[in-house]
Amino acid sequence: MILHPGIMALLGGTGLVLLMMLYASSLAIKILRRWDFYSCSEEQLQLERKTFLVSTIVNYALGFQVLSLFLFIYTLEEIHPLFVGAMCATGSLNANPIGWSALYVKILVFFAAALWIALNYLDGRAEDSPLIKLKYSYLLLLTPLIGGELYLQISYFYQLDPEIITSCCGSLFSADGSGVAADLAGLAPGRMMLLFYGLAALLAGLAWLCWKKTAPWLRYSFSLAGAIFFVAALISVISFISLYIYELPTHHCPFDLLQKNYGFIGYPLYVGLFVGTLFSILPGLFQPLKKYPSLIFEIERLEKKWLLTALIFFVLFVLIASWPIVFGHFRLMNFARF
């Protein structure tokens, strides 16, 4: 099983990224100790040359880490027929519980790596590179995180046994079961719909205010609302969005959406949510960086692009989630639990 193309790509790609990160970390330690932008020494000149090269390489390496989240989920879907009892990626994850930890860490790396790429882009737009020490300090935190991700992936894939009998999503995401997944599946869909669409309306309103006004508290509020919407949206997928797509009042699985039977609708749905969330947290997170004079204009210019991108992807997510609710034949309100 370890020779599956998706597994080899994940392990090989993450291994190469980790090697690049280790080399970049050695440079980061030198930068934190020796960097002086106003120095004309030969050492400073060499550091600037190496920094430009390493930042470019790490930029692309972390880009792979961002995309590898979707490759990981795709691979889980691909290998699930190899396990007895597995109906989707949930069965693959249940075949070795370490897989759930690997998934959570990959989601964390998705956002952490994307934020470094954004930080690096912003630093490159200023002539005095004011974020050089900040982004390399951040790099030192990212390296062990990617090392942990590689360890979890190896532990998960290496210990998978095709002979094992695993459980399907029906036993995990069941309103009558126990555990967090069952609790989420048991939430009243009507209340979750009110919360989901209420937060979506709040996000749209805050985006409009941020577009019109430059107050920092509006940026912080928009980013906070985006993070809360991310959690609420994932819960909503389990609570009611999946029910309308499957047209079954008891089928809550968030992974079956990725299958051919449902038109692979899960991929654009989750891309909309994850990319929208990423760009929604940038305006608030980067507000403190306006203390650098060389970045004020660039951040204010980029803020509108971040707001627009976040809004486009959130709208994509809400439209895909709402289409079967509005135009489908299934009506959840006909059932008592609504």
Average pLDDT on 182-208 reads: 89
Do residues 99 and 73 lie in contact, with contact meaning Cβ atoms separated by under 8 Å?
no
Q: Is the pLDDT of residue 169 over 80?
A: no
| Cβ-based neighbours of 141, under 8 Å, separated by 6 or more | none
Distances (CA, A) of 45 to 114, 130, 153, 237: 28, 16, 39, 52
Name the residue type at position 56. T
Q: So what's the pLDDT on residue 45?
A: 86
Task: Return d(Cα 240, Cα 247) in angstroms, integer.
Answer: 10
Helices 5-34 and 132-158 sit at what angle, rounded to 10 degrees? 150
Q: Is the pLDDT of residue 337 over 80?
A: no
Q: Name which of 18-27, 44-53, 277-286 the model is least confident about.
A: 44-53
How much is the pLDDT for 283? 94
Other beta carbons less than 10 A from residue 284's beta carbon? 23
Per-residue model confidence as pLDDT tens digits over 107-130: 999 999 999 999 999 998 888 889
48 and 38 in contact (C-beta within 8 Å)? Answer: no
The overall average pLDDT reported for the chain is 89
pLDDT over 90, % of the chain: 57
Six-digit token string for 263: 């038109």
* More confident of the two residues 325 and 35: 325
Q: 48-57, 230-239, 329-338: lowest mean pLDDT where?
A: 329-338
- When pLDDT is cut at 50, 70 and 90, the band that residue 287 belongs to is very high
More confident residue, 231 or 261: 231
What average pLDDT does the segment 85-105 reach? 88
Can you tell me which residue has the tokens 């990959």? Answer: 106
Structure tokens at 106: 């990959």
Predicted local distance difference test score (pLDDT) of residue 48: 84
Angle in degrees, 0-180, between the axes of helices 42-79 and 98-124, rounded to the nearest 10? 140
Lowest-confidence segment of 57-61, 145-149, 266-270 by average pLDDT: 57-61
**Rounded mean pLDDT, 136-154:** 94
Give the confidence band of 176 by pLDDT, cuts at 50, 70, 90: low
Q: Is residue 207 scored above 90 in pLDDT? A: yes
- Whether 4 and 136 have beta carbons less than 8 Å apart is answered as no
127: exposed, middle or buried (Cβ count in 10 Å: 0-12, 13-18, 19+): exposed
C-alpha torsion 22→27→32→33, nearest 10: 120
Does the pLDDT value for residue 269 go beyond 70? yes
Cβ contacts of residue 101 below 8 Å, gap of 6+? 152
**How remote is the C-alpha of 87 from its chain's centroid?**
24
- 20-24, 177-181, 274-278: which is most confident: 274-278
Helical residues (DSSP H) of the chain, grouped into ranges: 5-34, 42-79, 89-94, 98-124, 132-158, 169-172, 180-185, 189-212, 216-236, 242-246, 266-285, 293-327
pLDDT band at 101 (very low <50, low <70, confident <90, very high): very high
**Residue-level pLDDT at 335:** 63
State the amino acid at position 337 in one-letter form: R
Averaged pLDDT for residues 41-65: 87
- % residues pLDDT > 70 (the chain): 96
Decide if pLDDT at 234 tops 70: yes
Name the token pair of 278. Answer: 């990423």
pLDDT band of residue 336 (cuts 50, 70, 90) is: low
Model pLDDT for residues 242-257, shown as the tens digit of each residue: 999 998 888 888 988 9
Model pTM greater than 0.85?
yes
Q: Is the pLDDT of residue 44 over 90?
A: no
pLDDT of residue 80: 85
